[in-house]
């Protein structure tokens, strides 16, 4: 065993504004779907489909978009960390 400190030892994850946005993009669909009382109703109808159903299907599309945004932001964050890390 060497006495030299490991480069990853004691390294804390960094919270940046970009990472907060990523977290919000990933958490928003969960909050929207778990808050059932906000969409547990029939009206308004969309093409004859009750609100309860089309709201959830809309969130499938919204969740896809938010996940793609979070992924692209994560890639941007990782590139910035690799480029800015001079150690």
Assigned domain for 26 exists: no
pLDDT tens-digit map of 60-86:
999 999 999 999 999 999 998 887 655
Res 52: pLDDT = 94
Distance CA(87)–CA(82), nearest Å, equals 10
Above pLDDT 90, what percent of the chain? Answer: 68
State the DSSP code for 85: -
Number of domains in the chain: 1
Give the residues across from 46 on adjacent strands. 49
Assigned domain for 72 exists: yes
Query: Taking the mean position of all CA atoms in its chain, how far away is CA 55?
Result: 19
Nearest to 9 by CA among 17, 18, 1: 1
Assigned domain for 46 exists: yes
Distance CA(44)–CA(16), nearest Å, equals 40
Give the residues across from 49 on adjacent strands. 46
């Amino acid at each position: 065993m060497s006495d030299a400190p490991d480069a990853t030892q004691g390294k804390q994850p960094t919270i940046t504004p970009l990472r907060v946005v990523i977290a919000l993009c990933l958490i928003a669909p969960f909050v929207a779907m778990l808050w059932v009382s906000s969409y547990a109703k029939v009206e308004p109808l969309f093409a004859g489909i009750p609100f309860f159903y089309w709201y959830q299907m809309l969130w499938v599309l919204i969740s896809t978009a938010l996940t793609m945004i979070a992924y692209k932001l994560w890639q941007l964050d990782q590139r910035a960390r690799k480029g800015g890390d001079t150690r």
